Amino acid sequence: MRRNLRHATTTIREKRERAVAEVPDWERLRDRGAAIKDATLSDLAEQLLTLEASVTRAGGTVHWARDAEEARTIVADLVQGHGSDEVIKVKSIATDEIELNAALEQRGIHVTETDLAELIVQLAGDTPSHILVPAIHKNRAEIRALFQRTLGAELDTDEPARLAEVARLYLREKFLTTRVAVSGANFAVAESGTVCVVESEGNGRMCVTLPEVLITVMGIEKVLPRWADIAPFLQLLPRSSTAERMNPYTSFWSGVTPGDGPQAFHLVLLDAGRTDVLADPVGRQTLRCIRCSACLNVCPVYERTGGHAYGSVYPGPIGAILTPQLLHLENDNANTLPWASSLCGACYDACPVKINIPEVLISLRGQVTAAKPLDVEGVAMKTAAWLFAEPHRFEGAIRLARLGQGPLVKHGAIHALPGLLGGWTGTRDLPALPPKSFRELWRDRVNGEQA
Amino acid sequence: MTIDLFLTCLNDALFPRTGLAMVSLLERLGHTVRFNEAQTCCGQMHFNTGYQPEALTLVRKFVHDFRDAEVIVAPSGSCVAFVRDLYPKAAEWAGDEQLLDEVRRLGERTFELSEFLVNVLGVEDVGAAYPHRVTYHPTCHAARLLRVGDAPLRLLRRVRGLQLVELPAAEQCCGFGGTFSVKNPETSTAMLADKVQHVMDTGAEVCTAGDNSCLMHIGGGLSRLQSGTGVVHLAEILASTGAAS
Ligand code: SF4
């Protein structure tokens, strides 16, 4: 698995660098993207009301969902209200976030994912491990076996082309017979009520045009004020995510058009913790995210732990800051995520909307630490701060440590430490403290000069 | 010029040789070096691990200790990046306007060694000699937060007898990350394993960098594997005149 992931992230990382290098003013484009998002976020309530008015004017219906539960109920009610027990879906992380599929299945609504990788994940009863390539943890042989088992396909090879064909035939049938589709949205334009989905397979386009009813679930942070605001993102997004100059498929729709496409359109605006993120002056930049996954692909920690280690639909660096914020730092797993980073800063460099992920990580670490009872680490940190507060205390501590290290030192290095620090010396040596600290040597020197 | 040395707690306690090298190098270039013995630690470890009130105390102490300094130079990209990049954030988050103002002015005169030599003093040839095969690891904070760019390489290229070999995947993090390596030892080790392998692939005798924390990590891995490759801080190479090493 790790090898699949390493290979994929390395390839895409190199391709992305080339794609980005082609744009002469990439830095300015990033600034522009960040600025548009920031301006929108600072005026979010207004923008959303404008969006609601525009969508309504265009013949669509807007629903407001405070949390995941509300969003799930709205969608399920809509599907059943339109007399259907089946939906096809466009790949969407927002619907993964609210665990929509399980909720629909529970209400007796059968769900078919139409994105190839999502379909694989769904058939395997698995969870996605990457925002953009959800089935990155599966190899061809596994996929072939899966298709044979679940779709009854006869496959004598695991050639990608053959695998794709099997999926295509299966999906074509679904497109033509299913009446309700569910999608996410990459952007929505407030002034016109236009919703936009970008994708690379074209299956999403089928979903938003063929069925009679289209239900879109969108995080409230996806709104943009004007049409013109989309342009920079259509450059930033594909280069950052798939290292392409343009997305193969970009679909736009506004409300409904009689005789063309779905005849009913519902837009579900999902809050689910986002307004609270907005209230945090450091954390709010997280909401600029356009889910391009560039940060995942450059992250050395993600590369080695994989997406499932994050226990959330948002893996990698963005997951490490978004998940704990959406969950209000109340969930134990989410609370450890801000530490899943060496703070190397590669994600910040890669992010097309310049989210300072390390900064947000540090801020969240502070919030979690301040809220929890004092533990061993806390005591150690407070002691260290106390020692550092006065140079003579610090110097005394160095002296003491020098005396204490005696039995641990072998050939000038420490090979095993007790307790919390044991993980460190499990695989690496630590240099022993030298006979004199710099300040002692400095003092010797000053005294020598005076003598 | 009079240069205030910010030695950082780690260098003071564990790597005093780097400090001595800084002193002899800067003096050789004709400058006066001061070391304010009141200094201890910049507070980075506390801030980055989530102990911000404790860090803030150390930020204030640092500001106090270095108030009179004309320029502050440190053998650590990471600690300099902390002072320059995160001190303003720490002050902002604490809502302390006066501190913010002070740390901004302080940040403008705080430098990592290589950027100070190349960008401020305008020297690339520091008159060093170091007849060894050397590879250079650009540490994350120096490279990404300070953007020191090729300053260290320019300096190394002018060292007599030094054979510089390129490190594959140089810009990848070694996995140290301060307390990250203690809290996530397996992931950190996996990152270190790649770094150490790349260093060994170069066939270098010495891996250098501008930060003893990263070097301690890489060196710890090299030492455990008994690789024969050592780690030496950039300052020590630049101070060396080739007599002994
Ligand atoms: S945080 Fe930035 S790099 Fe990561 S997915 Fe979001 S937009 Fe992309």
**What confidence tens digit (pLDDT) does each residue in A171-182 have?**
888 888 999 999
pLDDT tens-digit readout, B193-210: 999 999 999 999 999 999
pLDDT of residue B245: 44
Residue of chain B whose Cα is closest to the Cα of A400: B13
From ligand 1's centre to the CA of A296, what distance in Å?
8
Beta-carbon contacts of residue A17 (< 8 Å; ≥ 6 apart): none
Report, as an integer, the average pLDDT of A133-157.
83
Neighbours of B230 (CB within 10 A): 16
pLDDT at A128 over 80: no
Of A193, A174, A194, A292, the C-alpha closest to A251 is A194
Query: Does the C-beta of A361 come closer than 6 Å to ligand 1?
Result: no
Report, as an integer, the average pLDDT of A55-84.
97
Could you give the 3-state DSSP secondary structure of residue B111?
A: strand
Helix residue ranges, H only, A327-414: 332-336, 346-350, 357-371, 376-389, 391-404
**Strand-pair category, A194-199 with A249-254:** antiparallel
Query: Does the C-beta of A352 come closer than 6 Å to ligand 1?
Result: yes
Provide the terminal-to-terminal Cα distance of chain B, rounded to the nearest Å: 28
Phi, psi (rounded to 5 degrees) for A249:
-130, 125
From ligand 1's centre to the CA of A234, what distance in Å?
14
Enter the DSSP assignment of A373: P
pLDDT at A451 over 70: no
The CATH number of the domain covering residues in B2-120: 3.40.50
CB contact under 8 A, A428 and B217: yes
Residue nearest to atom 2 of ligand 1 (CA): A351
Higher pLDDT, B128 or A418: B128
Query: Does the C-beta of A360 come closer than 6 Å to ligand 1?
Result: no
Cα atoms in the Cβ-side hemisphere of radius 13 Å centred on A314: 24
The answer to whether the B2-120 and B133-239 domains have the same CATH topology is: yes
Query: Does the C-beta of A217 come closer than 6 Å to ligand 1?
Result: no
Euclidean distance between CA atoms A108 and A249, whole angstroms: 32
Angle, nearest 10°, between helix axes A376-389 and B52-65? Answer: 10
Euclidean distance between CA atoms A209 and B52, whole angstroms: 52
**Which architecture characterizes domain B133-239 according to CATH?**
3-Layer(aba) Sandwich (3.40)
Spell out the domain ranges in chain B: 2-120, 133-239
Q: A384: which chain B residues are within 8 Å (Cβ-Cβ)?
A: 45-46, 54
Report, as an integer, the average pLDDT of A220-224.
98
How far away is chain B from the Cα of A147, in angstroms, using its nearest Cα?
A: 34
Phi, psi (rounded to 5 degrees) for A255:
55, -135
Query: Does the C-beta of A364 come closer than 6 Å to ligand 1?
Result: no
Euclidean distance between CA atoms A124 and A130, whole angstroms: 15
Report, as an integer, the average pLDDT of A78-105.
94
Phi, psi (rounded to 5 degrees) for A114:
-105, -15
From ligand 1's centre to the CA of A316, what distance in Å?
10
* Interface pTM, i.e. ipTM: 0.93
Q: B178: which chain A residues are within 8 Å (Cβ-Cβ)?
A: 343
Write down the residue that tokens 């390596």 correspond to.
B181
**Model confidence at A1, in pLDDT bands (50, 70, 90)?**
low
pTM (two decimals): 0.92
Of A148, A145, A123, the C-alpha closest to A134 is A123
| Ligand 1 atom closest to residue A357's alpha carbon, by position in its atom list | 1
From ligand 1's centre to the CA of A294, what distance in Å?
6
Q: CA dist B127 to B28, B124, B159, Å? A: 9, 9, 7
